[in-house]
Amino acid sequence: MNKQKQQGVTLSGLLVVCVVLITVAIIGFKLFPAYNEYLKVKRTITAIAKDPEANRSVGEAKAAFARRTAIDDIKAIQDLDVTKTSNGVAIAANWSVKVPLFYNVSACMDFEARSQ
């Protein structure tokens, strides 16, 4: 008689893996908008720093950023650090985002975007 050992995942093991995967997915879905906005800000700051028209003065760079935030729907940043350099302007932004995860647990993320 040939005895074969059964292999596979038990129902309780499958449920534990599913709960872990669903929890990670929910946390990822809640954190994604903050990272997406960071990428928008980084892209906008880089584009303004490379733009020759907005690169002339600090006021023009801030005005260009204000126009682009309205278009790209950027709400996290209200103030930029813009300094004049020898080859244009240097733009930097620092901000924090607090994302509620569940119950009284929140994720606090600090972002920093620079043009150079």
| CA separation for the pair 27, 40 (Å, rounded) | 21
According to the model, what pLDDT value does residue 41 have?
92
CA 110 to CA 98: how far, in whole Å? 9
- The pLDDT mean for the chain works out to 88
Integer Cα distance of 86 and 10 in angstroms: 66
pTM for the structure as a whole: 0.79
pLDDT for the residue numbered 1:
63
Q: Dihedral angle at the C-alpha atoms of 68, 72, 75, 80, nearest 10 degrees?
A: -30
Return the bridge partners of 114, or none.
92
Condensed to tens digits (0 to 9), the pLDDT of residues 29-80 reads 999 999 999 999 999 998 888 887 767 788 888 888 888 888 888 888 877 8
The residue written with tokens 């103030």 in the block is: 79
Helix (H, G, I), strand (E, B) or coil at 32: helix
Residue with tokens 């647990």: 105
